[in-house]
Amino acid sequence: MNEKMTRKDFLSSLAFGGTALALFPWLNSCSPEKQKAAGGERARLGLIGTGSRGKFHLANLLQDPSAQIVALCDDFPLHLEEAAALCPSAKRYTDYHKLLEDKEVDGVIICTPLSMHAQMVIDSLAAGKHTFCEKAMAHTPEQLLAMIRAWKQSGRVLMIGQQRMFDPKYVKAMELVHGGGIGQVVGIRNYWYRNNDWRREVPAPQYERRINWRLYDEYSRGLMAELACHQLQNGSWAMGGIQPSFVTGTGSIQFWKDGREVFDNVAAIYQYANGVHMTFESIISNKHFGMGEQILGSEGTIDLVRGVIYSETGNRHSGIRQFLDQIAQGILSNSAFAGTSWVTEEASKDPGVRFVDNVTVNDGASTVGAAGDGSVELMHAYCLAVISGDQPAGIVEEAYWSTLLALLGDQATHLAGRVEIPSAEALGVSF
Amino acid sequence: MEFVYDTRNPAVPTAYSSLVAMHTRCELLLPGMQEGDARALADQVWTLVREADRRYNRFAPESLLAKLNDSAAAEAVVVDEELFFILQMCDTLRKATLGWFDISAGSRVSGRSWELDPEARTVRFSQPGMRLDLGGFVKGFVLEKAVRAVCAATDCALLSFGGSSTAAVGTGPFGAPWPVAVAHTYYPARTAHTFPLAGESLSVSGKDPHGRGHIIDPHTGNTVEKEGLIAVTGPSPMVTEVLSTALWVAPSGQRAGILAAFEGYQAWEIICKTDTNSLTLRI
C-alpha cells in the first residue's frame, strides 16, 4: 500500500460493483459489507513455502491491514531466511506439521511445489485451519478429488490462487460477456509465450530438482499446470460454468534440451458440447506475442489481457450513431451512412475500446506474479474469509475445473491424442 | 446488443442501440424518450429482428425457410400464416416488377415457379433444386414491423438496417426531416446525395465497387456486376427494399415503367465517379 493511501482508500479500491457481485458470487468475499463486518480484525496467517511465489504473497499481505503474518515455514533454509527478513516477528518452522499445530495460526497459505499441494491442503483442513493453496490445485485428478472431499468434510474455508477471478479487468470483461456485449461466445483463445529456460538459480547441484521442481514430472505438470491453468479458467467463466467435453493436444521438448522432463512447447484444444473451442498454446523459446487471452463473440471480441473490446461492426463508422453527437449539440446535419448493404465479412480494423481505466497489462514474462493481476484482491478476500469463516462461493468450483482441465490437457499432450473430460457427476463431485 | 443513453443535451436525451443480425448491423435512434422506455422499445425491436433471423435465414438448417427449401419440391408444404403472407407478397411484387424482383433467382433452375394454395396454406415448388432466398425482402419486412412498434411508442425515431434500408419515424428531433445521406461508393466519408426523410423510408441497392456483386439477375441467373446505385423512397420499407433491388437489376429502359405501378414511391439513380463527384438522376 502506498504510504499516502489510507486504510479506507485501500479497502474501497478493492470493492467490486453490484452487477459483478450478482454475477460472480466469490466477489462478495471482499464486498464493502464483508470489510465492514471484519472491523479492525486481522487474520492470523501462516505461510508454508517461502519461495518466489510465497514471498510475492508475503509482500502483498504485509501491506494488507486485514493480515497478520504469524508464522513462516520452509525446509529450505535460504528461502526461510529471506522471508523472515521481510517479517521478523513471525515464528519460523521447518516442518509444516508443526505450523499446523500452532494455535495462533487461523489461516494457512500454501505456496509449495504442485506435487505437495494435496497432502498439505488435506492436513491443513484436518487441523482445522482455513486454507489457501496456490494453483494448480493438484498433481493428479485423484488428488484433486481427495482435496474436494477433505474440504467438504472440514467446514473450513478453502481458496485457490486463481487471481484472475479478482482482477478488475477480467471481472469487467466477464460482465460484458455475460451481458451479451459480444453476442454469442464462439471461441476462446489463450496463448503464453516466453523466451527463457524457466530455471531458477541453484545454489548447489543437489538442489536442482528441489529448486527447479517445475521442470520435472515427479513434482510438476509443466506448462499446462503452471500457465494454462490460469487461462483455462477463462473458458469456464465465459461459458457460464459449462465445461468442455474433451481435449486434444500435443507437446514436445524442442529447444530447451537441458535434462528437463516437462515439455517446452504445448498446444491443446478443448471442445465444448455446443461445438465451441478453447485453445491454449505455449512456447518458451519465443516471446514475440507474449501472453494473450481472447473471448471471441458473434458481435465482438474481448482482449482480456489488455482490457479492450472490439466490435465486429466497428470498421465502418455508423452514421446513425453520428447523429448522437449532433443531437447533443442541438443540430442535425446530413450524415453519410446509407448505401449498399453493409456486411460483416471483413477483417476488423476496429481500434477497440478500453473497458477499464488505468489497466495494468501483464505481458506474462514474470514467472512469479505481476502487479495489478488480482493477487492483492484475492489475498485480501482470503483474509476476510479467515476472519469471518465464510467460504467464498464458487471459488473452489472454478479452481477445481481449471486444474482438472489443465491436468487432462497435460495427459492429452503426452498422448498426442484425445482425452475425455468427465462430468462432475461422473466424478462424484456435487458441483 | 449495444445500448447507449446520451443525456448531453438535456432537452433531447437520446438512446442509440445496435444489433448484429441478418448478416448486417441494425441500428435504432430514439430521441426524447426516457431511458427505461427506450431500452424496452429497443428490446422489443431486436426481438422482432432476432425472431425473423431465426425463421428466415436460409443458411440455418432449422429455419422455416431452410425446411421449406428442403421439402417443397417433393410435396406441398404447409407453412404458418406469416410465411404464407410473405410468399404471397413476394409473388405479387415479382409480377409487379416484371420479374426483376424474384426470391427464387438464385436457384439456377429454368421454368421455376412456386404454387401457393391459400385454402390449405401450402407451398409447392415447380422444380427440384429450387431455392427461395428471403434475405433482402425480410430485411424490409422486419423493418416495417419495427417501424410499427416504434410508432406506437414515439413520433421521433430513425432506424437503419445495414445502411441499405432506413426508416424515419416522424421528423428529426428539431422539427426538420432527418437528413439521410447516401455515401459515395468510392469515398465513403463523402455524401453522394442527401434525402430528407420524414415518416418514410429509403432503400439503396447496388454493388460496392470494391466488392463482388451479390444481387442475381432473375432472367440469367448471373450475379449483376454493373455499377451505380438505385435509391427509392416511399411509405413502406418492405416495398422500397423490393423496388430498389428490382430497379437496379432491370434494364434502364424498363425502370420508369416499373416505378409507375407503385404510387407514392420515388426513385433515383446515383452514379459515383472516381474523381469524388457524383450524379443523381430521377427515374
Domain of residue A54, CATH code = 3.40.50.720
Taking only the tens of pLDDT, chain B with its 283 residues reads 889 999 999 999 999 999 888 878 899 999 999 999 999 999 999 999 999 988 888 777 788 888 888 899 899 999 999 999 999 999 999 999 999 999 988 777 777 788 899 999 999 998 888 888 888 899 999 999 999 999 999 999 999 998 889 999 999 999 999 999 888 777 666 788 999 999 999 999 987 655 556 677 887 777 777 778 999 999 999 999 999 999 999 999 999 999 999 999 999 999 887 667 788 899 9
The count of domains in chain A is 2
**Statement to judge: residues A346 and A295 lie in one domain:** yes
Confidence at residue B201, expressed as pLDDT on a 0 to 100 scale: 97
**Statement to judge: residues A110 and A153 lie in one domain:** yes
A93 in a structural domain: yes
Domain B59-133 listed as CATH 3.30.2320.80:
no
Q: Give contacts of A327 with chain B, Cβ < 8 Å.
A: 6, 9, 12, 14, 31, 173
DSSP string computed for A290-313: -EEEEEEESSEEEETTTTEEEETT
Q: CB burial class (10 A; 0-12, 13-18, 19+) of residue A133?
A: buried
Q: What is the mean pLDDT of residues A206-234?
A: 96
A397 in a structural domain: no
**Statement to judge: residues A190 and A95 lie in one domain:** no
Residue B243: phi and psi, rounded to 5, are -65, -40
Confidence at residue A14, expressed as pLDDT on a 0 to 100 scale: 52
Give the whole-angstrom CA distance, residue B195 versus residue A339. Answer: 12
Q: Does B17 touch chain A (CB under 8 A)?
A: no
A430 in a structural domain: no
**Statement to judge: residues A62 and A202 lie in one domain:** no
Yes or no: say if B29 and A323 are a contact pair by the CB < 8 Å rule.
yes
Q: Return the residue of B nearest to A321 by Cα.
A: B16
Confidence at residue A389, expressed as pLDDT on a 0 to 100 scale: 96
A132 in a structural domain: yes
Closest by Cα among A265, A192, A278, A273 to A234 = A278
**Statement to judge: residues A257 and A330 lie in one domain:** yes
Confidence at residue A317, expressed as pLDDT on a 0 to 100 scale: 47
**Statement to judge: residues A253 and A301 lie in one domain:** yes
- The dihedral through the CA atoms of A127, A129, A135, A141 has a sign that is positive
- The β-bridge partners of B196 are B179
**Statement to judge: residues A138 and A212 lie in one domain:** no
List the domain range (segments joined by +) for residue A72: 7-162+372-392
**Statement to judge: residues A283 and A411 lie in one domain:** yes
Q: CB burial class (10 A; 0-12, 13-18, 19+) of residue B275?
A: exposed
Q: Give contacts of B4 with chain A, Cβ < 8 Å.
A: 324
Confidence at residue A319, expressed as pLDDT on a 0 to 100 scale: 66
pLDDT confidence tier of residue A345, bands split at 50, 70 and 90: very low
Of A324, A340, A344, the CB nearest to B20: A344
Interval A1-39: pLDDT, tens: 343 445 455 445 555 666 677 788 888 888 878 888 888
Q: Give contacts of A331 with chain B, Cβ < 8 Å.
A: 174
Length of chain B: 283
Of B1, B185, B190, the CB nearest to A180: B1
Task: Inform me whether the pLDDT recorded for A336 exceeds 80.
Answer: no
Confidence at residue A320, expressed as pLDDT on a 0 to 100 scale: 83
Q: Return the residue of A nearest to B208 by Cα.
A: A340
B164 and A342: CB-CB below 8 Å? yes
Interval B17-38: pLDDT, tens: 998 888 788 999 999 999 999 9
Chain A, chain B: beta-carbon pairs less than 8 Å apart: 135
Closest by Cα among A384, A364, A229 to A290 = A364
CB neighbour list of residue B138: distance below 8 Å, 6 or more residues apart: B22, B52, B56, B86
B181 and A327: CB-CB below 8 Å? no
Confidence at residue A351, expressed as pLDDT on a 0 to 100 scale: 56
**Statement to judge: residues A230 and A348 lie in one domain:** yes
Q: Return the residue of A nearest to B196 by Cα.
A: A334
Closest by Cα among B23, B128, B145, B150 to B86 = B145
B185 and A329: CB-CB below 8 Å? no
**Statement to judge: residues A42 and A76 lie in one domain:** yes
Q: Does A426 touch chain B (CB under 8 A)?
A: no
ipTM for the predicted complex: 0.87
CA distance A321 to chain B (A): 7
CATH classification at residue A191: 3.30.360.10
pLDDT confidence tier of residue A374, bands split at 50, 70 and 90: confident
Yes or no: say if B154 and B132 are a contact pair by the CB < 8 Å rule.
no
Q: Does A347 touch chain B (CB under 8 A)?
A: no
A262 in a structural domain: yes
Place of cell 450475379: B223
Give the whole-angstrom CA distance, residue A247 versus residue A190. Answer: 14
A427 in a structural domain: no
A398 in a structural domain: no
Give the whole-angstrom CA distance, residue A286 versus residue A256. Answer: 12
**Statement to judge: residues A102 and A192 lie in one domain:** no
Confidence at residue B220, expressed as pLDDT on a 0 to 100 scale: 77
Stretch among A129-143, A254-268, B260-274 having the lowest mean pLDDT? B260-274
Stretch among A64-73, A127-136, A166-175 having the lowest mean pLDDT? A166-175
CA distance B75 to chain A (A): 33
DSSP string computed for B118-159: TTTTEEEESSTT-----HHHHHHHHHHHHHHHHHTT-S-EEE
Of A181, A327, A339, the CB nearest to B14: A327
**Statement to judge: residues A339 and A381 lie in one domain:** no
